[in-house]
Amino acid sequence: MLKPIALPGLAGRLDRLGGFGLFLSRLIIGYLWFTQLLWKLPPTFGCPADFAVSTSLTARTSGLCDWTGLMAIASKIPLHKAFVTNVIIPNLSWMGWGIFLMEAFLAVSLVFGLFSRLGGLVGFIQAVNLYIGLTALPFEWYWTYGMLYTLHIIFFFLPPGRVWGVDSFLIPRFQAAAGQGNRLAKVLLLFV
């Protein structure tokens, strides 16, 4: 029989195999986010010097400008398409920092199990963004984004950092501080 792992703040328990599966999934998806940073490194984010975006499947640029341009072409939701076209693309030289830092946070959050519930939420939002913006492209596999947002839903509801992650060390400290009336600790408990 497999011995259960207590997960602080959760009503249920995982056995060791379940805990290992959650830990391994966290590492794999965290590594995936890390690899996605490498092709869009600051300060250019892999873009051409003028930050020109792709304008069609045959007129493509590079880096974040390529994929952002493709998102403006293929987005499934008109409001999303308008946001990418009118807000993100004209400001990509500085908004690229936000995209890069968000995905860097996802990599760190999941690899180290640090604020992993927040990582699950942010990853879910980004995966849905990618699903909406890119799955209409003929070469994109819609189910890969579907799996990505599904895993992040799991990471939100069953925070993986509580199993062999930094969160497992933070929870008792935040709980103690919250018990003494520390409001910041109460808020931080929502994210681990």
Q: What's residue 6's pLDDT? A: 59
- Provide the CB-side half-sphere exposure for 121 (13 A, CA): 6
Q: For the chain (length 192 residues), average pLDDT per consecutive 10?
A: 52 78 97 97 96 95 97 97 98 97 98 98 98 94 94 95 95 96 96 96
What type of residue sits at position 110? Answer: L
Give the CA distances from residue 65 to residues 14, 93, 134, in Å, rounded to whole numbers and listed in that order.
43, 9, 14
First and final CA of the chain: distance in angstroms?
Answer: 29
DSSP 53: P
Q: What's residue 9's pLDDT? A: 45
pLDDT digits (tens, 9 = 90+) for 147-165: 999 999 999 999 999 999 9
pLDDT digits (tens, 9 = 90+) for 81-110: 999 999 999 999 999 999 999 999 999 999
- Cβ neighbors of 140 (< 8 A, separation 6 or more) are 134
- Cβ neighbors of 52 (< 8 A, separation 6 or more) are 61, 65
pTM of the model: 0.90
